[in-house]
Each structure stands twice: as structure tokens, then as C-alpha cells.
Amino acid sequence: MKFSKLSQLFLVSTIGLLLAILLTSCEIVTIDYVFVASSAGSGSGSAGQIQTYDVDSESGALRSGAPAVSSGGSVPVSMAVTSDYANLYVANQGNNSVVHFAVAGDGALTTKDTVTAGGTPVSIAVNAANTYLYVVSGTKSATLAVYSLSGGTIGSVVGQPIPLTVPGYTSDTIIPTAVTVLANNNAVYITAYDQSAFNPGGSVTSSANPGWVFGYSVGSGGALTAISSSPWKAGVKPTAIAADPTNRFVYVTDYASNELIGYTIQDGSVLDFLINGPFKTGNEPLAIVIDPRGKYIYVANSLDSSVTAYTIDLATGSPSATVNVTGSQINSTDTQPVAVLVDAALGRFVYTANHLGNSVSGFELDADTGALTSTQATPYPTGSQPTALASVPHGNHSIQSTTP
């Protein structure tokens, strides 16, 4: 049967419309931007860089986003984002700097201002009110400094930097490892270990407990006061710390003992051990994150190149290892994961920065169980030796329900 020209035109138009609808439905939608801090070169003095990746809403796959920028120094080790997702901060060990970047709607970063820390920065955190930036520094001694924030701009130091010392062992060498702030802005916690008491391959000169968590309550004007009974014991070599979004629990990874240590928060800031801990991790855990709903914990195990998933008992805070549908508790990453995060928009995807793999590994999070499955085309190549991750939502995706 022959078609008239009008019929042919109608058929072509219909096919074109169907193809347009199909292509639109298959269009990749970005829900997050993931920032990766790494060394741009191979030398210890090479400039650091921050790469931006777009997160696909369906698969969680990463693809290159806005152009990479200099981290403002060398050896970037820690990043933090304000709760309005408008500002990113990066700590560089090579020049002892903390650099502030503005985050654009397309994920592009623009350098705004820089401060020089009093020592070598190790870890940074921003409170949820976006009023203070906490910087923990030191390779031979540990110091906590508080910087005021105004519209994202880094201001002056609040008060005097606080040295971290173990009571009764004030001459010991304390090495800080991480810092976190409660979601209600009321307290700050820092992990550190006593190198005088734990020094593999070197001499031990102290009988002190090796691992510690230091805690400070936040007062008027950002002033810090040591919390009663702080510091608290934290295994042998604590390496990372995270507080749940309901301000009830704190969790610490112990690199030397391959354990996850849990604490309840009492009287608003005092820590007390969970009664049935500590809990087993993989080998040499280096990083920890809690999903924004406060239901799941993810620990990056550097020696095993894996992520351990845990479900939090919301009544007691006790974590239990999550088993995947395959019957395994092992979620393999590329080589030596040193940072882990959950995407900020929907809390659906988990990513690790793999230091020796020069990559990021991706997983999809089962919101009902916490189990992980690998994302499409993981791992994703990065610059040399990535060390830190951060995430901000794209567009209005941050309004999705990810709160407890």
C-alpha cells in the first residue's frame, strides 16, 4: 500500500517525536557533585588538585564534571562542606593552608580565601550552623583551632588554639587523626593517639593508654570548654570519627585493633562506651561515614581494600554487620581506600577514595537494609593518590528525605 505525502510526513513526525521522548527519558540526570582531593603529580611537593564528578541519578556512576582546580597547596588531606552546600574547605599539609572555595550551581569551584594553620593540618570540620571551622593540626603535637565563618569566608581564630594532652602524661607526643562536630553544634570531638605509648618500629617511653577521644563543649562566641571526663579511651590507634545525625552516638575506627568503637552521648556531650562493643571491622580501617538518615555506618578498610557496612540499632546504637544478597559482608574497592562518603542528595550512593588505586569506587546503598552493590563502571579514575572526598547536591535534590 502506498502512503500519501501527508501520511509520510505524519509518520516521520511521529517517529521523530517518539525518538525525542525516548532520548529525553534516557538523559543522564545529575543528582550530586562529588569532589576528590588528590596530588596532581608524582612528587611529594607537587601541587594538589580537586576534581569534580557528576553523579548519575539512576546508576550512581561518576563522570567528569567541572574542570579540576588547584587545591591551593600540596598534599591535600581533608575537605569539609557547609550545610548549605555553598562552600568547600580544603586542608593542605604541604603549605599548612586551609583554602575556601565557593561552589557554583554546576559544581565549579572558585577560590575565595586562604588561612595558614598554626601547624600541619590533619583534619577539618564545619559546624551545621556554618559559623565555625575546626582545624586539627600537628605531626609532633596536637592542636585544635577554631576559625570564625561569615558567609563562608574564613575569619580570625576564636580564642587561643588548644593543645591536646593526656592528663598525667603531658610530655607525651600526641598525634591527631580526625575531628567531627555534633549536628546540634554543641560539641566537638577529636581522635588522637599517643605516639609515646604506641610507636611500631620505634621506642615506647610512656605507659599511657595509646588511643583517645578529646571532647569540647561549644559555648557563647564559639569558646570551647573541655567536657567532663574527657579525654576518653579509644583503643590503640583511632583514625576516624563520626557522630550520628540525632546527636546520640559517636563511632571511632581503631586502625591497630581492626575495630569499631561505639559511644553513647550522655548529658548532651559526655561519651560512654556502648556496652557490647567494640565491633569487628576489616583490616586497618581508616575512614568512617554515617548515612544522613542515621541508620547505617560504612567503614573503609585500607589493607583489605573493602568497605564494611553496618546497621545501627536505633534504640541502643549498636552496629551489626550487614550481609549482602550474595551472602557476603565484603564490598571490594580499588586499592587502599582512605576516605568514604554517602552522597548528599538522596543518600543512595557510597564512594571511597582509593589512595593507591588512583580511583574512586562506587556502591549503591539499599535504603531498606544498608547493603551495598557496585555501581556501573566502577572504579572511576582520579588524579594521583586521592585522599579526601566531599559531596554537594545538584539543584533541588537536597530537599529529598534523607533526614532521620
pLDDT level of residue 324 (50, 70, 90 thresholds)? confident
Please determine, for residue 166, whether its predicted confidence score (pLDDT) is greater than 50: yes
Predicted confidence at residue 337, as pLDDT, reads 98
Q: Which residue has the higher pLDDT, 374 or 45?
A: 374
Query: Are the C-beta atoms of 76 and 384 separated by less than 8 Å?
Result: no
Predicted confidence at residue 20, as pLDDT, reads 34
Number of residues that make up the chain:
404
- For the chain, give the mean pLDDT: 91
Q: Which residue has the higher pLDDT, 204 or 21?
A: 204
Please determine, for residue 95, whether its predicted confidence score (pLDDT) is greater than 50: yes
Please determine, for residue 262, whether its predicted confidence score (pLDDT) is greater than 90: yes
Q: What percent of the chain has a predicted confidence (pLDDT) above 70?
A: 89
User: What domains does the chain contain, in order, with CATH numbers?
Assistant: 30-398 (2.130.10.10)
Question: Once rounded to an integer, what is the mean pLDDT over residues 71-90?
Answer: 97
Name the 3-class secondary structure at 353: strand
Q: Which residue has the higher pLDDT, 64 or 13?
A: 64
Question: Once rounded to an integer, what is the mean pLDDT over residues 353-358?
Answer: 97
Number of neighbouring beta carbons within 10 Å of residue 380: 21
Query: Are the C-beta atoms of 93 and 108 separated by less than 8 Å?
Result: no
pLDDT (tens digit per residue) in 3-61:
444 444 444 334 433 433 333 334 568 899 999 999 865 555 568 999 999 999 999 99
**Grid coordinates of 7:** 501520511
Residue with cell 607525651: 172
- Cβ-in-10-Å burial (0-12, 13-18, 19+) of 368 comes to exposed
Q: What percent of the chain has a predicted confidence (pLDDT) above 90?
A: 84
Predicted confidence at residue 221, as pLDDT, reads 94
Beta bridge partners of 306: 301, 332
Confidence (pTM): 0.91
Determine the Cα angle at 119 with ends 115 and 120, to 5°: 90
pLDDT level of residue 140 (50, 70, 90 thresholds)? confident
Please determine, for residue 190, whether its predicted confidence score (pLDDT) is greater than 60: yes
